[in-house]
């Protein structure tokens, strides 16, 4: 049977090539008699095997448009897989159980259902629970069998896509609904698969490759093997998704790289569009035991080459003053779904970023989630109409703005927009938000809305006023959303915050660039003595002698303490507090003493402040960026450029668990 199916595929290809030469190019390549002989041979093989391709010339295709795409509920949810950018995670995953390494095709996930050897439905993945029925378009695909020599129910899931060489040809002539050229093959394939007119779908040269058997094949030998079921599907005439296996139970990253490079080379040869690699367990019973979340199955892991990008339209640039007076730009765009989350906002960082991309409202933009976490605008598809979007006045207080050049963390000079009005309401609100935050004075039960209301009513003029809000108790309990219990909870939180430490108090002062990590260093150097720190900052102490304290930090400390208002705040607020003296404990011997350690990615057991505090407790030095001076990189989930740089520099990379094991 497989031999006959291959003969059918070859005849379909040959006859279609001759048909194109005859009908479209007016240049016949064989005689009518020879064409008829091949046609009759194809028809005979199709009748005998029960296998008919969607683009077979024996079929008289009638394309029947529909008015809408009906919804189709999936009896088995078509969940996606979790993602990673770390080869180490792939290696650890495969070590749990034998797995297949498959190409991650860049198209639209599609489900096909066969019964009694005939295709009965096709649908998209949709939100994993409910998709759209696209049965009317399946006959216009280039390689989907409409009948197969398998009489039981068969449900397969795969990817609908356009070959890269076909897209290069089609993008010159096809345009989207707005009359613009298509930006990528995925968008063109998605539009074709979901088109109401099968004729339009047929023009887009869409192919389908299965990567999973959802139902069926239970009766075959070794049916628990995903690989065996896919091999059987291939025998039925489907062009299955290319994959490979690794013999080693615990492959090294080098072995994985070799396997992935081989698959990528195959994809390039075959003009298959890909955006990553999928590792998925071979055993279906083991896969099922792994369970799932609301978003993804735990049976596999997707390794992304690049962050996926989605086209949308920029609607507005929103400018908001920060607590230091810089007015931060934020992009507001039409909502796109990325990794199961709806995204409609992204930071634009500064005026230089906006200028470089020539961003203006109304332009088409490409949006990603960098490292699958942070929304980011990658590209502007409609350049050439740029006008300076910087607001001439502060959107909060109406004061005139100014542009300012500063050096960014990567050494580039960037332009920013500033409001210099110290009485700007938004700046003041943000300062109070910072003061009451968990990293600073840790006052619970006080929201931004509550602070905004108290500022509006004049209850708060300075940070000290927070500790005397009981003077306004009767008025506050009359406010909407407040009552006696609400105020009592708030007042209790305020009273509890009086018991603080050197570190929290210093963070609350909001000295530029002095956050939790630098405050811990200063706490150790000055042994928790605020008076000693004040004397050093008001004097000529050289803070650059401290680890990771440069000229800018040194200047920030001296400048802040030279301001009389700041010094008054510093001294008077201390009178409201009860300081818990932190003992400078002797650090026991461990591998991290004296080492510079950087943490990156999402950690399971630590917040960013927690891991830095742990590093300090071990006698190490927490770093913010990877350099030749870095001794260790602790790597959590979804790590990005820091991991790449560490690997390039040959720095020792630890998983979070390896770090915990070493300090146990």
Catalytic residue IDs: 104
Which residues are 416's β-sheet partners?
A: 404
Q: Which two tokens stand for residue 465?
A: 């006023």
Distance CA 327, CA 98 (A): 53
- Local structure of 152: helix, strand or coil: coil
Dihedral of CA 160/166/168/172: which sign? negative
Which helix (DSSP H) or strand (DSSP E) does residue 578 occupy?
Answer: strand 578-579
Alpha helices in 24-137 (DSSP H): 32-49, 87-96
Distance CA 573, CA 507 (A): 13
Which residues are 536's β-sheet partners?
A: none
Provide the total of helices (H) and of strands (E) in the chain, helices listed first. 22, 26
Q: Identify whether the C-beta of residue 562 lies closer than 8 Å to the C-beta of residue 541.
A: no
Q: Which residues contact 488 (CB under 8 A, 6 or more apart)?
A: none
Q: What strands lie across the sheet with 364-370, from one edge to the other? A: 341-347, 327-338, 310-321, 364-370, 374-380
Distance CA 413, CA 404 (A): 10
Task: Name the residue among 338, 114, 296 with its Cα closest to residue 208.
Answer: 114
- Altogether, the residues listed in the chain come to a count of 664
- CB burial of 82-105 (b: ≥16 within 10 Å; e: otherwise) equals bbbbbbbbbbbbbeeebbbbbbbb
**Is 22 exposed, middle or buried, given 0-12, 13-18 or 19+ CB atoms closer than 10 A?**
middle
Q: Which two tokens stand for residue 125?
A: 């993945």
Residue 175 — φ and ψ, nearest 5°? -130, 155
Q: Which two tokens stand for residue 216?
A: 């069926």
CA dist 348 to 263, 328, 358, Å? 37, 8, 12
* Nearest-5° Cα angle at 292, 288 to 294: 150
- Local structure of 174: helix, strand or coil: coil
Q: Identify whether the C-beta of residue 512 lies closer than 8 Å to the C-beta of residue 555.
A: no
Q: Which two tokens stand for residue 415?
A: 């332009």
CA dist 120 to 46, 113, 117, 190, Å? 19, 6, 9, 21
What DSSP state is assigned to residue 653?
Answer: E
Distance CA 425, CA 455 (A): 9
Distance CA 644, CA 207 (A): 35
- Local structure of 216: helix, strand or coil: coil
Alpha helices in 458-497 (DSSP H): 473-476, 484-497
Distance CA 554, CA 551 (A): 5
- Angle 253-269/87-96 helices, nearest 10 degrees? 100
């Amino acid at each position: 049977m497989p031999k006959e199916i291959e003969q059918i595929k070859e005849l379909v290809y040959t006859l279609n090539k001759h048909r194109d030469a005859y009908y479209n190019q007016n240049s016949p390549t064989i005689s009518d008699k020879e064409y008829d002989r091949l046609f009759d041979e194809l028809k005979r093989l199709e009748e005998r095997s029960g296998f008919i391709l969607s683009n077979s010339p024996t079929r008289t295709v009638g394309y029947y448009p529909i008015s809408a795409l009906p919804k189709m509920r999936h009896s088995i949810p078509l969940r996606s897989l979790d993602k990673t950018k770390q080869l180490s995670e792939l290696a650890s995953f495969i070590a749990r159980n034998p797995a297949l390494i498959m190409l991650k095709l860049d198209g639209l996930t599609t489900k096909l259902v066969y019964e009694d050897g005939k295709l009965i439905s096709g649908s998209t993945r949709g939100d994993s629970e409910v998709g759209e029925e696209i049965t009317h378009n399946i006959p216009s695909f280039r390689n989907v069998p409409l009948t197969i020599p398998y009489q039981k129910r068969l449900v397969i899931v795969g990817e609908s896509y356009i070959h890269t060489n076909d897209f290069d040809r089609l993008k010159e002539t096809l345009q989207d609904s707005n009359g613009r050229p298509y930006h990528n093959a995925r968008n063109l394939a998605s539009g074709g698969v979901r088109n109401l007119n099968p004729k339009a779908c047929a023009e887009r040269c869409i192919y389908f490759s299965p990567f999973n058997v959802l139902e069926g094949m239970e009766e075959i030998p070794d049916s628990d093997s995903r690989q065996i079921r896919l091999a059987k599907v291939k025998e039925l005439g489907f062009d299955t998704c290319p994959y490979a296996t690794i013999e080693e139970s615990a492959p090294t990253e080098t072995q994985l790289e070799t396997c992935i490079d081989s698959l990528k080379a195959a994809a390039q040869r075959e003009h298959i569009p890909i955006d990553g690699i999928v590792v998925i367990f071979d055993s279906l019973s083991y896969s099922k035991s792994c369970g799932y979340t609301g978003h993804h199955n735990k049976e596999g892991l997707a390794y992304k080459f690049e962050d996926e990008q989605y086209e949308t339209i920029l609607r507005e640039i929103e400018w908001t003053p920060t607590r230091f007076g810089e007015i931060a730009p934020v992009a507001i765009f039409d909502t796109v779904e990325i990794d199961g989350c709806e995204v409609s906002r992204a930071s634009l960082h500064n005026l230089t970023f906006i200028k470089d991309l020539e961003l203006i409202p109304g332009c088409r933009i490409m949006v990603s989630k960098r490292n699958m976490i942070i929304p980011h605008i990658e590209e502007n598809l409609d350049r050439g109409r740029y006008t300076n979007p910087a607001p001439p006045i502060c959107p909060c207080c109406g004061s005139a703005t100014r542009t300012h050049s500063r050096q960014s963390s990567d050494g580039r000079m960037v332009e920013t927009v500033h409001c210099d009005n110290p009485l700007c309401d938004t700046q003041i609100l943000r300062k109070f938000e910072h003061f009451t935050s968990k990293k600073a004075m840790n006052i619970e039960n006080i929201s931004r809305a509550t602070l905004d209301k108290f500022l509006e009513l004049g209850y708060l003029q300075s940070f000290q006023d927070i500790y005397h809000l009981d003077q306004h108790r009767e008025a506050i309990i009359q406010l909407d959303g407040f009552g006696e219990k609400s105020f009592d909870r708030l007042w209790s939180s305020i009273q509890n915050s009086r018991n603080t430490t050197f570190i929290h108090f210093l963070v609350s002062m909001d000295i530029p660039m002095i956050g939790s990590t630098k405050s811990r260093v200063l706490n150790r150097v000055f042994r928790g003595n605020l008076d000693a720190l004040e004397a050093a900052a008001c004097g000529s102490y050289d803070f650059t002698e401290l680890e990771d304290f440069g000229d800018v930090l040194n200047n920030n400390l001296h400048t802040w303490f030279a301001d009389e208002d700041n010094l008054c705040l510093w001294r008077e607020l201390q009178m409201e507090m009860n300081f818990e003296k932190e003992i400078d404990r002797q650090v026991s011997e461990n591998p991290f003493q004296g080492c510079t350690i950087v943490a990156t990615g999402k950690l399971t057991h630590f917040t960013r402040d927690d891991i830095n505090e742990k590093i300090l407790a071990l006698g190490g030095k927490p770093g913010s960026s990877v350099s030749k001076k870095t001794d260790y990189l602790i790597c959590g989930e979804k790590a990005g450029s820091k991991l790449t740089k560490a690997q390039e520099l040959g720095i020792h990379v630890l998983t979070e668990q390896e770090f915990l094991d070493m300090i146990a």
